[in-house]
Amino acid sequence: MPSRAWFPEFQAALRAELDQRNASPLSLYEETGEDTPGDDSAAGLMARSSKLFTTAVAQTLAETPPHDVERAITLLSDRKRRITLVGGRFTHLLAQYLGLHLMQLRDDVHILPERDVERAAALARLGRRDVLVVFDYRRYKSDKMALSQLAQEQGGKFAVFTDSWLSPTSAHAEVVPPSQVTAPSPYDSLVPTLAVIETVVAGLITALGDEAHQHMRHTEEVSRRTGLV
């Protein structure tokens, strides 16, 4: 019979993987304790943060498949498509960040509403020309799977920004840019994902070309006339 000596190690590795996938700020805090390793001065914290963020951003950009970035740019720059973005408890900030950039570059960009009636109406409108962009990170939300399935059933496209453990919705997505979430605190960092978003935005400006320029100019003019800037 083949040796099963590896099985306990496999089980331990699997448990560790599941623990990481389901980790919360509280569990990470309790796991590491209150003590911060090394120099706990402001200078020490800044040095530690610089190292962590630099490594996380570099690793994220190195591990992001170029075809995912290219596909994201293609989908989001297609002016025939309607874009809807949604995030989670913290990652709604990422959805809004990308959404606000898109609104300056093109039309028909929407953040999925919070109120039930408005959200249901927006989801009921999903069709073949829609692109649903979801931000889903560990302690993944079951509603994101339902959203991805709904978008697919209606013939739309689905993209998910997620962490290195990959949201369950990744199996259904056309675009899956994963990001590291390493941070100097128990909270997952959004910094590497912001780097991916800004990389995509740079690509969108190139892809949309003069139309993006004209859209930005018109938006700026309207903002000035109405006292918004």
- pLDDT tens for 197-226 read 999 999 999 999 999 999 999 999 999 999
End-to-end alpha carbon distance in the chain:
74
Distance CA 204, CA 52 (A): 28
Q: What is the reported pLDDT for 39?
A: 77
Cβ–Cβ under 8 Å, residues 191 and 52: no
Bigger pLDDT: 140 or 17?
140
Residue 196 has pLDDT above 80, yes or no: yes
Dihedral over alpha carbons 146, 74, 188, 93 (to 10 degrees): -80
What is the share, in percent, of the chain residues with pLDDT greater than 70? 83
Q: What is the reported pLDDT for 23?
A: 60
User: Which are the contacts of 108, defined by CB distance < 8 A and separation ≥ 6?
Assistant: 79, 81, 82, 83
pLDDT digits (tens, 9 = 90+) for 28-74: 556 665 555 667 899 999 999 999 999 999 999 999 999 999 999 99
Q: Is 194 left (phi over 0), alpha (psi -120 to 50) or beta?
A: alpha
Q: What is the reported pLDDT for 20?
A: 56
Q: What is the reported pLDDT for 153?
A: 95
Q: How confident is the model at residue 13 (pLDDT cuts 50, 70, 90)?
A: very low
Mean pLDDT, the chain, as a whole number? Answer: 89
Q: Is 189 left (phi over 0), alpha (psi -120 to 50) or beta?
A: beta
